[in-house]
Amino acid sequence: MLNQTIVNLLYLLSSVLFIYGLKGLSHPRTAVRGNLIGAVGMLIAIVATLMLGNVRWEIVISGMIIGSGIGTVWSFKVPMTAMPELVAMFNGFGGIASVLVAGAAFITTETENVDLQMTISTAASGLIGGVTFTGSVVAFFKLQNVKWIPDGGFFRGQQVLSTVLLILCVLLGAVLVYSPASVWAYWVIVPLSFVLGVTLVSPIGGADMPVVIALLNSYSGLAACATGFVLNNSVLIVAGSLVGASGVILTNIMCKAMNRSVWHVVFGTLGPSSSTPSADDVYAGKVKATSPEEVAMLFDGARRVVIAPGYGMAAAQCQHVVRDLANLLEARGIEVEYAIHPVAGRMPGHMNVLLAEADIPYDKLKEMDEINPTFSQTDVAIVIGANDVVNPVARTDPNSPIAGMPILDVDKARTVVVIKRSLSPGFAGIPNPLFAADNTLMLFGDGKKAVLETIAAIKAG
Amino acid sequence: MADFADILTIFVLAMFVGFEIITKVPPTLHTPLMSGSNAISGITLVGALIAAGSHEWLTATLGFLAVVFATINVVGGFLITHRMLRMFRRKE
């Protein structure tokens, strides 16, 4: 049995390792080690806690075996395209764990020992953890495009209900603060916050999913933090704050990349406005369809090619054939780079993981600000499965729903090849004048098939 | 029991440290950052282990469930992050 002071010192060591581990993520070279350092920190915290004594081993061991089994199987089986769903779900588990721990701590503490810190933080754990849990579950299903969660939510005015629920939770929190004996208030806050998670997340559109996941990530950290305040436990507070801060930063980056505020993402709607020109006006007679053979000829004499991938590339599972195309072009002396928009894909950095899986070196993946000035020296830009993030309307039409959103300037390349199934709009629901531009060729069809045929045509030529 | 001000100090300082180190993470690693930080937020497991030690059945049950959820979070989070990070490689 260790005494509390030694355990607290071990918690300090864990906290330091978490910070040091996250620091490792500042470069891909040190990232693997950083993650392992974080895991060691976690192991130390767990062992230290078990050394405190008062352990019911049968419960602890069975719980940890079940949890480890599910976690291991899940993390090995999940395909990289489904990473957003997995992270969403794990966020949710963190949230529900905080709800349960705070509740357990609250009911075991004698009422006369309950102070203001405990009541406030317990209520906060229940609220934040509950919202994180069901919000993440809804995000998980939305990412799988299930039909029973309609776009825009279950009914109109859902945001009004969310506001009412939030106010109720805060009032119940106040009840808990003023009369700590009313444990029932906690068990009402929890189900209400479950409903709140559903009403908050279900109306949020697909384009905003990266923001939602980042936000839930931050909530899961803040829930752990609140639980730390309940238990007076420093390692929970430090780890929770690190995660909370990380989620807040990512949320900000995602919002900036869409030129929207968090408030607008959660309470606003994204869609075509009345002033949006119709698809017929934009496309009529101007769209040029092309063939793989014609695309292959574009690469004759080309010196620089930039590939701009979007979620469609992940959906068509064609990152591996894209790499083959890039290798073929490089073998012919052409410089190939990838333009990654911050919100391409369904979560921050999603495209980078998919391309890394296809063995594409990370130094070829360029951020928007770095690659945009180079499009004017680019011979061919290939857009594959991206739409709104390359829509020049964002620069030109102040009334457009995506006005002011920073985009990849692919239209400045000498020739743009867009690989896409049809002219259907992206998440924003607006036509894309890029598809009708003079220097754009549309290669219609399934992404994988189109790229494979282009590769064959290059080899044949 | 620690003083509320002490514990609030830890919270505020840790937030600042968090902002400082996370802003240095490059966009290419944002997905592993999310899954890795998510694993760290599974630190609630520590609280769950304490709750599971209770001899009151309700507390112990809540603790047991929390142990399961938090362990999925911790083990799954670190493993998937490791799996992703190992795919990142440089141009040779």
Work out the minimum CA distance from A79 to partner chain B, whole angstroms.
Answer: 10
Number of domains, chain B: 1
CA angle centred on B37, ends B32 and B38, rounded to 5°? 95
Question: Is residue B22 included in any domain, yes or no?
Answer: no
Pick the range with the lowest mean pLDDT from A20-24, A116-120, A409-413, A426-430: A426-430
Full set of structural domains in chain A with CATH:
78-267 (no CATH), 279-460 (3.40.50.1220)
Find the residue in B nearest to A229 (Cα).
B7
Question: Is residue B17 included in any domain, yes or no?
Answer: no
Question: Number of CB pairs < 8 Å for A and B?
Answer: 368
Position A171 scores a pLDDT of 96
Q: At what angle are helices A209-231 and B4-22 packed, to 10 degrees?
A: 150
Residue A341 has pLDDT above 70, yes or no: yes
Token representation of residue A202: 């279900």
Position B1 scores a pLDDT of 47
CB contact under 8 A, B47 and A52: no
Residue A271 has pLDDT above 70, yes or no: no
**CB-CB: which of A18, A103, A221 is closest to B62?**
A103
Q: Cβ–Cβ contacts within 10 Å for residue A183, how many? A: 16
Name the residue range of residue B74's domain: 30-92
Q: Stretch A31-43: mean pLDDT, rounded?
A: 97
Work out the minimum CA distance from A297 to partner chain B, whole angstroms.
Answer: 27
Residues of B in contact with A232 (CB under 8 A): 1-2, 7
Question: Is residue B25 included in any domain, yes or no?
Answer: no
Question: Is residue B60 included in any domain, yes or no?
Answer: yes
Work out the minimum CA distance from B57 to partner chain A, whole angstroms.
Answer: 10
Which residue from A201, A202, A213 is spatially nearest to A250, judged by alpha carbons?
A: A213
Residue A44 has pLDDT above 90, yes or no: yes
Pick the range with the lowest mean pLDDT from A165-179, A200-214, B27-41, B57-71: A200-214
pLDDT band of residue A401 (cuts 50, 70, 90) is confident
Question: Is residue B90 included in any domain, yes or no?
Answer: yes
Find the residue in B nearest to A108 (Cα).
B59
Position A228 scores a pLDDT of 95
B3 in contact with chain A, both atoms CB, cutoff 8 A = no
pLDDT (tens digit per residue) in A46-72: 999 999 888 899 999 999 999 999 999
Residue A427 has pLDDT above 90, yes or no: no
> How many whole angstroms separate alpha carbon A322 and alpha carbon A320?
5
CB contact under 8 A, B27 and A348: yes
Residues 6+ apart with CB under 8 A from A184: none
- What ipTM was assigned to the predicted interfaces of this complex? 0.96
- What is the DSSP track for A15-28? HHHHHHHHHHTTSH
Find the residue in B nearest to A59 (Cα).
B64
- For an interface test with A, the pick among B11, B28, B90, B91 (most A C-beta atoms closer than 10 Å) comes out as B28
Residue B48 has pLDDT above 80, yes or no: yes
Question: Is residue B24 included in any domain, yes or no?
Answer: no
Residues of B in contact with A31 (CB under 8 A): 29, 32, 85, 88
Question: Is residue B75 included in any domain, yes or no?
Answer: yes
Longest dimension (CA), chain B: 60
Question: Is residue B51 included in any domain, yes or no?
Answer: yes
